Amino acid sequence: MTALYYARVSSGRQENEETIQSQVAELRARMMEDGVAEPEGFTDEGYSRDNLVRPGLDHIRDLATQGPLKHLYIHCPDRLASGAKLMFLVEDIQKAGVEVIFLKGAVEDTPEGKLMLHMQGAIAEYERTKIVERTRRGKMYWARQGALIGGYFPYGYRYIARDRERNLRATLEVDELQAPVVRDIFRLLVEERLSCRAIAKRLTEEGVLTQTGKNRWTPGSINRMLRQSAYKGTSYYHRTEAVEPRNRSTQRPYAKTKLTSKKLRPKEEWIAIPVPAIVDEQTWETAQEQLRQNFIHSPRNNKSRQYLLSGLIRCTKCGATYVGGSSHDRQYYHCNQLDPLVSKTGERCRSPWLRADKVEEPVWQAVAEALRQPETLVEEYEKRVEQSQRPNGEDVDRKQLEVALRRLKSQENRVTDAYINEAMELPDYKQRMDQIREDRRRLEGQMASLEKRRNLQDSHQEALARLENFCENISIGLEHLAFEEKQALLRLLVERITVEGGRIRIEAAIPLGQRPTESSRLRPPSGNPKVADSAFGGNRS
């Protein structure tokens, strides 16, 4: 592969409009004009130009430094990046001996050409910033004028889109079929004082359909509805802002956006937008107070019983977390998918209940025993390092994945050519491309898993140097720890616990970055796991 192309679009809207296919078609046509018989390349869909962590771009950069790549075709500079990032990428690729060819906005490899490229990147960045700022200010202005911003609408309303011909802004209209359900939900809470779970159960039993047409209501959706201020006649814009989550639940090396969590802005920054009310303000306020009372008296908030392994035991059937509960004055752990109202599938998980005392004591003893024997942990860890360094087929797996991705790219090119040459109808083309995108996401996920495993292997030597020191420090005073300290230590060390066939399996981790006494967060983030498997990660009766 001496010549490749690279294409990118930044949003789902552009993906749906097939603009990336138009880029690919132009790039392939140019490459064939230049004598490339079977043009191939990589694409990134839904990635911003400011985000340099893209799977397609990473493949290009790897091939530039390690492979025979000599020519890289790109539609225009802003498809690669903008501003200083554009200059960095172009220079980085060119240093590897690769010629970067832009179909539009091409520049010469001279000081003047580099200056022109830098100016193009700066102009693209300026235009983008200007558009973002104008859009933000425009939305703020219309929100202050009482116009509805965004297409979201709660259950009980219909969204009335903007009418440009009559110069009418978007608004909400009460749905007379759903509004009685909303009023009934507030009545059940305020008058009958039912919990969100009981309300969800009643609606499900009565066959009332949700906003998405399903016949299963969940306690969480009922709770969110009851807190929705639009029902009393006031919706809010600029209420939250997107932020990066503190703890990511999954490893996402190629996340299209990092800001996937939200936090409330100060209340004085909220912009109130009047909408038609479904319940009166007094009913809404009474409902908020009843929700607070329900929270206080909820059995799950009863702190009289303590559960040492809360959040650590995983169900072997559905993979959900076990939670604490009591029956006949005994404490148990059970799968949180036991209730079909909150189950993801709508069906009750049949995993057995676990006696708390039969699980907590063996787990704590296993952890404490391991921490008192750091030399055993070091020996076990050295064995695992040796095993991880043996040929295990990872290189073969990686090559197979790379071949599969290249074949997928060739398949995408053939489908695109068939559509361009009118040998395929648009519906068939979209269906084939959707399947190709799904296959690519699956393969890239497998590649990311291999990369994560390789990164963990690279940290083995550093881990070994700190493992014994950690155990010696933490094992002091284990007998005198309070319940909260034991629970915190277990959450620090244990990744998950499973119980099957009367045997307890503990998957444990040793934090390596810093001592627990110096840590502001006891548990290391899952997105950057500085951990090592411990010797008590096996089966234990």
Residue 188 falls inside a structural domain:
yes
Same domain (yes/no): 183, 326? no
The answer for residues whose C-beta is within 8 angstroms of residue 419's C-beta and 6 or more apart is 21, 426, 429
Enter the DSSP assignment of 320: P
β-pairing verdict for 3-9 and 71-74: parallel
Residue 32 falls inside a structural domain:
yes
Q: Closest by alpha carbon to 518, among 478, 466, 460?
A: 466
The larger pLDDT score, comparing residue 82 to residue 539, is at 82
Number of domains in the chain: 4
Q: CATH number for the domain including 22?
A: 3.40.50.1390
Residue 146 falls inside a structural domain:
no
Same domain (yes/no): 10, 126? yes
For position 106, what pLDDT does the model report?
66
β-pairing verdict for 322-327 and 271-274: unpaired
Cα angle: 217, vertex 219, 225; to 5 degrees: 85
Find where tokens 């300026």 sit: 126
Q: What is the pLDDT of residues 260-306, one digit of tens each?
A: 678 888 888 899 999 999 999 999 999 999 998 887 666 665 556 78
Q: What is the pLDDT of residues 414-424, one digit of tens each?
A: 777 776 666 77
Domain end call among 440, 465, 490: 465
Instruction: Tell me how far apart the alpha carbons of residues 446 and 442 are, in angstroms, rounded to a whole number.
Output: 6
Same domain (yes/no): 360, 499? yes
Residue 81 falls inside a structural domain:
yes
Residue 120 above 80 pLDDT? Answer: no
The number of beta carbons lying within 10 Å of the beta carbon of residue 287 is 21
For helices 394-420 and 426-458, the axis angle rounded to 10 degrees is 160
Residue 412 above 70 pLDDT? Answer: yes
Residue 494 above 80 pLDDT? Answer: yes
Same domain (yes/no): 218, 357? no
Domain end call among 433, 465, 497: 465
Average pLDDT for residues 463-479, to the nearest whole number?
64
pLDDT classification of 186: cutoffs 50, 70, 90: very high
Domain end call among 441, 465, 489: 465
Residue 28 falls inside a structural domain:
yes
Find where tokens 């109202």 sit: 341
Same domain (yes/no): 363, 454? no
Q: CATH number for the domain including 187?
A: 3.90.1750.20
Q: Are 508 and 515 in contact (CB under 8 A)?
A: no
Average pLDDT for residues 366-386, to the nearest whole number?
72
Same domain (yes/no): 400, 438? yes
Same domain (yes/no): 228, 365? no
Same domain (yes/no): 43, 93? yes
Residues of the domain holding 35: 3-132
Q: Closest by alpha carbon to 397, among 353, 326, 340, 446?
A: 446
Same domain (yes/no): 339, 390? no
Give me the residues paired with residue 540 across strands.
Answer: 504
Q: Closest by alpha carbon to 506, among 369, 388, 375?
A: 369
The answer for residues whose C-beta is within 8 angstroms of residue 100's C-beta and 6 or more apart is 72, 74, 90, 93, 94
Average pLDDT for residues 34-47, to the nearest whole number?
88
For position 537, what pLDDT does the model report?
42
Average pLDDT for residues 361-377, to the nearest whole number?
80
Residue 538 above 50 pLDDT? Answer: no
Residue 247 falls inside a structural domain:
no
Residue 95 falls inside a structural domain:
yes
Half-sphere exposure of 399 (CA within 13 A, CB side): 4
